[in-house]
Structure 1
Amino acid sequence: MTASTESFTHSRAPRPSGGPAQAVRDSLVVAKRNLIRMVRIPEVVIFGLIQPIMFVVLFSYVFGGAIPVPGHPGNDPSVYREYLMAGIFAQTVTFATAGAGAGIADDMHKGLIDRFRSLPMSRGAVLTGRTLADLVQTALTMLVLIVVAVIVGWRIHDGFPRALAGIGLLLLLGYAFSWIGALIGLSVRTPEAATSGGLIWLFPLTFISNAFVPTSNMPAFLRHVADWNPFSATVQAARQLFGNPQGAASNAWPMQHPALASLLWSLLIIAVFRTLAVRKYRSATA
């Protein structure tokens, strides 16, 4: 009796009829719901700030005088701090992937997704709303991190509009990666598994890049991988737009056109993983 009732409920689930406009409205409603939840559980946001702040302080003062930046003689800690910050910013926005995956896995585990499915709402709105809420949280984290970076000596040198463009590319990369997190969250059975699955692949992605050290001293194969890493393109673009030290020049196309490469990588990731995540969501709740 229960199985037949559930089957009937799914088959009779109301369908949205408002087209793209309703999809936008539904996504904003879900985003608002997730933002209210973040406000009511502030420790999630607070703990999310601790790790990037620790990275800023530790890398700035522990490694600041030990890692030379090509093109800048000597080991001036202030040069490395400015070189470092774009990498820390990029790491922060991409590590939000784990939170996105865990949140969606938690909603699936508690049955909230089934409740959403019983409503006449866009099927992609649940995921879109979640990723938009995560983007807002990431932007707030970035704001706090920028203040900390300024305190330890980071500065922009090419004007405020270009700096905003750099921050925009960083947030776009974070939004793109949140769709990877959404797919992971839909593919596992527990929030704990989503957190682990959302982080384990990020460490090699962020460290085989130009985020923390110049790639010129890497073995040839790793240097090639780092130069074509979407993470590296965004970091290099942010450094250019901030007017920070960029390290040794590379002949790889993404390093020669980092802003365009970053934009294309982010849009490609969104297109691919949003499609896969929405498809997974529909099959998981069918």
Structure 2
Amino acid sequence: MSSLSPAFRDSSTMLRRNLLHARRYPSLTLNLLLTPVVLLLLFVYVFGDVMSAGIGGGADRSAYIAYLVPGLLLMTIGSTTIGTAVSVSNDMTEGIIARFRTMAIHRGSVLIGHVIGSVLQAVLSVALVGAVGVAIGFRSHQATAAEWLAAFGLLVLFALALTWIAVGMGMVSPNAEAASNNALPLIFLPLVSSAFVPVSSMPGWFQPVAEYQPFTPVIETLRGLLLGTPIGDAWWIALLWCLGLAALGYRWSKAVYDRDPK
């Protein structure tokens, strides 16, 4: 227990530091949240009737709201983690990491503070976008308490996976602007997934791109848990993507962080 105490104490300190930064500079988080919220309102109120007919919901806009919200929740996670990449890049380029290296603190606490803080922000952001979805008509009457818990766990696991990837992107970026640009795929990938339209409605040559990427199986699993739609093999593919991305991001971030400074 004594060996874990310094790591826990230092990680808690770094977590508080990152949460204080997010509280003092909320504009970045709010700007990143604006994209999924605007897309949610745009697709529901401008394209909702047409989209609902396209997925077999007739002229009932609520059918498309139910289809759209799970995808937008994951897009929210992708948007939030861009802020993580920017924050990590600022730490790397402004010299604070070099100072931390000289201090008697647990070596991994800096990264752990960033990751836990980002996951907490992602969960809060998902709750906010989910509340907007409920306000405009999203309902999940079929989901049991166990399915809600599984959906929450999947969202947290996906947020953890994308956060580690974002940390790696931030650490290798020369500045905050480059970190933001490098992390843009985390917003772009949901646009070419099953978030907005079914994969089967896409051109044949493009369907593999949408199907074999991390967002689509996670979205389909989330829909199955909340809406009772068939999940099939999507759940274990989603878990493999989450665990694989988390492991890749962790190893990448650790390797860059442990590298001797030039």
Is the structural similarity TM-score above 0.5?
A: yes
Cα 1:44–1:126 change in 2 (3 A) is: same
8 Å contact from structure 1 (residues 34, 133) kept in 2: yes
Cα 1:28–1:280 change in 2 (3 A) is: same
Aligned-partner residue type, residue 106 of structure 2: S
2:164 equivalent to 1:179 = yes
Q: Deviations over 1:65-87 (max 9, x none)?
A: 11246773524211011000000
3-state SS of 1:91 partner:
helix
Aligned to 2:130: 146
User: Counterparts of 1:261 and 1:268 in 2: how far apart (Å)?
Assistant: 10
2:50 equivalent to 1:66 = yes
1:217-232 matches, within 5 Å, as 217-232=201-216
Shift in Å, 1:39: 2.0
User: Counterparts of 2:53 and 2:160 in 1: how far apart (Å)?
Assistant: 30
User: Counterparts of 2:71 and 2:53 in 1: how far apart (Å)?
Assistant: 14
Which residue, out of 121, 124, 140, partners 2:105?
121
Aligned to 2:116: 132
Aligned to 1:89: 73
Q: Deviations over 1:144-195 (max 9, x none)?
A: 1111100111011213431232132122212211111111111111111101
Cα 1:33–1:92 change in 2 (3 A) is: same
Shift in Å, 1:49: 3.0
Shift in Å, 1:36: 1.7
Which residue, out of 48, 57, 66, partners 2:41?
57
Aligned-partner residue type, residue 211 of structure 1: A
8 Å contact from structure 1 (residues 28, 129) kept in 2: yes
Q: Deviations over 1:212-266 (max 9, x none)?
A: 111102233422232222111110111011116x5xx7xxxxx622222222211
Cα 1:228–1:19 change in 2 (3 A) is: farther
Which residue, out of 188, 193, 196, partners 1:209?
193
2:31 equivalent to 1:47 = yes
2:231 equivalent to 1:275 = no
Q: Deviations over 1:25-57 (max 9, x none)?
A: 322221111112222223333334322221211
Q: Identity of aligned pairs, percent?
A: 32
Aligned-partner residue type, residue 263 of structure 1: L
Shift in Å, 1:285: 3.2
Which residue, out of 227, 242, 245, partners 1:243?
227
8 Å contact from structure 2 (residues 164, 249) kept in 1: yes
Moved over 6 A (4+): none
1:245-260 matches, within 5 Å, as 246=229, 256-260=232-236
Aligned to 2:155: 170
User: Counterparts of 2:132 and 2:160 in 1: how far apart (Å)?
Assistant: 22
User: Counterparts of 1:110 and 1:197 in 2: how far apart (Å)?
Assistant: 19
Which residue, out of 84, 90, 110, partners 1:106?
90
8 Å contact from structure 1 (residues 123, 278) kept in 2: no
8 Å contact from structure 2 (residues 85, 183) kept in 1: yes
User: Counterparts of 1:69 and 1:274 in 2: how far apart (Å)?
Assistant: 43
Give unpaired runs (5+ residues) of structure 2. Answer: none
Aligned-partner residue type, residue 163 of structure 2: S
Q: Is 225-234 or 158-167 further displaced after alignment?
A: 158-167
Cα 1:82–1:229 change in 2 (3 A) is: same
Aligned to 2:174: 189
Q: Is 262-271 or 69-78 further displaced after alignment?
A: 69-78
State how many pairs are aligned: 260
Aligned-partner residue type, residue 15 of structure 2: A
3-state SS of 1:173 partner:
helix
